[in-house]
Amino acid sequence: MFPAYRSAQKRAFTIISGRSPMLPLPILALAVASFGIGTTEFVIMGLLPEVARDFAVTIPQAGHLVSGYAMGVVIGAPIVAMATAPLPRKAALLALMAVFTLGNLACALAPAYWPLMAARVATAFAHGAFFGIGAIVARDLVPKEKRTQAVSLMFAGLTLANVLGVPLGTALGQALGWRATFWAVVGIGFAAGAAIAFALPSGMPGTRGGLAKEFRALGRWPVLRPMLVSTLSSVSFFTVFTYIAPFLTGVTGLTPGGVTGALFAAGVGLTVGNLAGGWLADRSLMGTVLGSFAALVVMLLILALVAPHAVPALAVLVLWSALAFALVSPLQVWVVEAASDAPNLASTLNQGAFNLGNATGAWLGGTALTLGAGYRELPMLAAAVSFLGLGLAATAVLRGKEKPSLSLAQGRS
């Protein structure tokens, strides 16, 4: 093991284990990058009117910039994973941040709608591979019993993007034009790249033994199962969250200003849930997955019940958001643990699985509304999807196939 890598592992262990008040610098660098990626993914939702007006397209047409990015993640994940597999992980992450930064620069300079769409898709190609490789780096920097916490710290940048990056980026775009937001994200990309170059240790090799081995590993059901569970978790969340604004105005009776406050509270819930999920999963990985899914089913049914009443609806909204993101880092680690002989491709493709769930959830909710369902029925539909995820995850425990992953802390014995 290279000295710089070993030194970074020791520093990260000291900090995450509670013997230092600081966030590990390598994981902080990854979190800064994930903040930028999360901001550029979601901020476009708040800028659709400005983009539509600038390019003389309808708001629904501008909305395709959201789904185009999601599909770019899904399609790009395996392609970029194969291209970056031989590279040392630090070099791969720097290359991906370069793609991310140049993609956002192209967005800021796009002269028309279709060049902007192409730039968004190109930027999305870096998304899945960055989170996939970044999760492995964060996981490998700490002892086995701290792995999920390290991954959740990296993903904290993504959740903070929803709390801070998206509203601030939307406000900037509304005040100075939507291009200003993408220029700001370009700045975040440069900062994240510099932080990765400075903080991440060298000596983390890429894939050894060729991609054929990784693809063979992906054909195993114990690897495919957690990927499918990851997809179902995102389908459940986005079946409701895609339509949360009309849900809160039409069913709960909030004003547009009240919706903004509710979304901020939900963003706080996402962040707290992500960190709590990492902490709990390091004590029992599958216990956290099963418990979170079971609680999601209950919470979604309660949300449907209390939706017309603002105070309980907002309380349940925050708890539901926290539970949904408590699953993110445990599911990512589950996939990597299941594909221990092929972690790069599996970790990256799981990001594609999450984004496939994003797009499928939005489609499922929209189809239900088109067929005559009301907004209040969307949480019940999402509860059914979460129940499927719970059942599929339970099969891993009932058949005893994933016993080594039930508690990562057992790896110390």
Give the residue ranges of DSSP H helices in 282-309: 285-306
Residue 212, pLDDT above cutoff 80? no
Pick the closest to residue 129 from 359, 362, 343, 358 (CA basis).
343
pTM for the complete prediction?
A: 0.79
Residue 308, pLDDT above cutoff 80? yes
The residue ranges of every structural domain in the chain are: 1-206, 210-413
Q: What is the pLDDT of residues 138-160, one digit of tens each?
A: 888 888 778 888 888 888 888 88
Q: What is the pLDDT of residues 36-79, one digit of tens each?
A: 998 998 888 778 788 888 999 887 788 788 878 888 888 888 88
Cβ–Cβ < 8 Å for 234, 385 = no
Cβ–Cβ < 8 Å for 388, 382 = no
For residue 111, give the DSSP letter. Answer: -
pLDDT at 217: 65
Chain center to CA of 123? 15
User: What rounded mean pLDDT belongs to the chain?
Assistant: 84
pLDDT at 410: 40
Residue 233, pLDDT above cutoff 60? yes
User: Which has the minimum average pLDDT: 212-221, 289-298, 301-310?
Assistant: 212-221
Cβ neighbours of residue 391 under 8 Å, at least 6 residues apart? none
Reported in sequence order, the residue ranges of 287-368 that DSSP labels E, i.e. its strands, are: none
Specify the 3-state DSSP secondary structure of 309: coil
- Greatest mean pLDDT range, 165-174, 183-192, 351-360: 183-192
User: How far apart, in whole angstroms, are the C-alpha atoms of residue 139 and residue 337?
Assistant: 10
- The angle at the Cα of 309, spanning 267 to 235, to the nearest 5 degrees, equals 45
- Tell me the CB-side half-sphere exposure of residue 359, using CA atoms within 13 A: 19
Cβ–Cβ < 8 Å for 196, 88 = no
Cβ–Cβ < 8 Å for 100, 109 = no
Are both 1-206 and 210-413 of the same fold?
Answer: yes
- Tell me the CB-side half-sphere exposure of residue 77, using CA atoms within 13 A: 22
Q: What length does the chain have?
A: 413
Q: What average pLDDT does the segment 107-136 reach?
A: 92
CATH of 210-413, one of 2.60.120.10, 1.20.1250.20, 3.90.1150.170, 1.10.150.20: 1.20.1250.20
For residue 253, give the DSSP letter. Answer: -
User: How far apart, in whole angstroms, are the C-alpha atoms of residue 245 and residue 20?
Assistant: 41
User: How far apart, in whole angstroms, are the C-alpha atoms of residue 347 and residue 172?
Assistant: 34
CATH superfamily of 1-206: MFS general substrate transporter like domains (1.20.1250.20)
Pick the closest to residue 138 from 185, 84, 90 (CA basis).
90
User: How far apart, in whole angstroms, are the C-alpha atoms of residue 97 and residue 100?
Assistant: 5
